[in-house]
Amino acid sequence: MAYPKVTLPKLSDMIVQQLEKRILDGVLKPGDRLPPERQLAEEFGVSRPSLREAIQQLTSRGLLSSRQGGGTWVTDRLETAFSDPWEKLLNQHEELHGDLLEFRRVLEGTVARCAASRATPADLERMQRCVDRLQQAYRGGELAEQAQADVEFHQAVAEASHNVLFAHLSGSLLAMLQRHVKDNIANLFAVGEVAEALREQHLAIWQAIRGRQPDAAQQAAERHIDFVADTLQNQMLLAERDARARLRLEQESAGR
């Protein structure tokens, strides 16, 4: 009786799987540098040639980037593969902005609900740190710091959902919005009463997640996006009215 041959996986393929999992789980994030080769080989308990082969595989697929004399870095391939074409379209087609916010409402409501059900103690500790940084940024009044703390909080919630697609899609959207000037959340922090409302909304999301209240977490996240959408719409209307008023004033001044 002939038995089928047993095919053992290559050691380098097993290392690839381990590194992929760290990238998918957000343990290794875009821009992170891998530990030195010797340290990583010892951690995995493998030879350096096997480790190099694994890194070469991930580099050829665009997940890692090796720099001569500068180590190996995690790329943003998973995020930009989605956001690159959409970012250009958003800049060119104003009508897509409403669709984007509607999509964010569904996504962030869902991840907040999942986070309230699935967050581990480590997740909660990380979110508490994000909330503390956000509170400190509000007190400091620096718009860029507030915007960055806002993004970090939302991403921590997404990663606490323990769904890798939610987490990476959220990261892609948030990075795209930071680069997209018109929708950059920093614009919202410039108005005092708006900033205070945003602070309260983030706290409501956090408190519902910490209290293990999925319904309340989802509703708080959805209300937050509704508020952002309404505020951006109002700002756009005010800008349009101001532009019309200035144009009329210029025409009158020119006719005198």
214-252 tens-digit pLDDT: 999 999 999 999 998 888 777 778 778 888 888 887 887
DSSP-derived letter for residue 32 is P
pLDDT at position 184 over 60: no
Place of tokens 């990380």: 126
Give the pLDDT of residue 215: 98
Give the pLDDT of residue 155: 93
User: Per the domain annotation, does 255 fall within a domain?
Assistant: no
Give the pLDDT of residue 2: 65
Exposed e or buried b per residue across 216-231, where buried means at least 16 C-beta atoms within 10 angstroms of its C-beta = bbbbbbbebbebbbeb
Average pLDDT, rounded, for the chain: 85
Give the pLDDT of residue 181: 41
Give the pLDDT of residue 182: 44
User: Per the domain annotation, does 4 fall within a domain?
Assistant: no
> Confidence class of residue 147 from pLDDT cuts 50, 70 and 90?
confident
Query: Is the alpha carbon torsion for 224, 229, 230, 231 positive or negative?
Result: positive
Query: At 36, which CATH number?
Result: 1.10.10.10
Are 142 and 183 within one domain? yes
Exposed e or buried b per residue across 130-152, where buried means at least 16 C-beta atoms within 10 angstroms of its C-beta = bbebbeebbeeeebebbbbbbbb
> Confidence class of residue 125 from pLDDT cuts 50, 70 and 90?
very high
Give the pLDDT of residue 85: 78
Give the pLDDT of residue 242: 81
What value does the mean pLDDT take over residues 67-89?
A: 79
Are 93 and 214 within one domain? yes
What are the Cα distances from residue 151, in Å, to 24, 170, 192, 200, 228? 19, 10, 19, 16, 14
User: Per the domain annotation, does 252 fall within a domain?
Assistant: no
The region of weakest confidence among 97-101, 118-122, 128-132 is: 97-101
Give the pLDDT of residue 190: 60
Boundary-marking domain end, from 46, 73, 100: 73
Q: Looking at the 3D structure of the chain, how many domains does it have?
A: 2
Are 232 and 152 within one domain? yes
Contacts of 82 by beta carbon, 8 Å cutoff, 6+ apart: 169, 172
Give the pLDDT of residue 224: 94
Q: Pick the more confident residue, 156 or 188.
A: 156
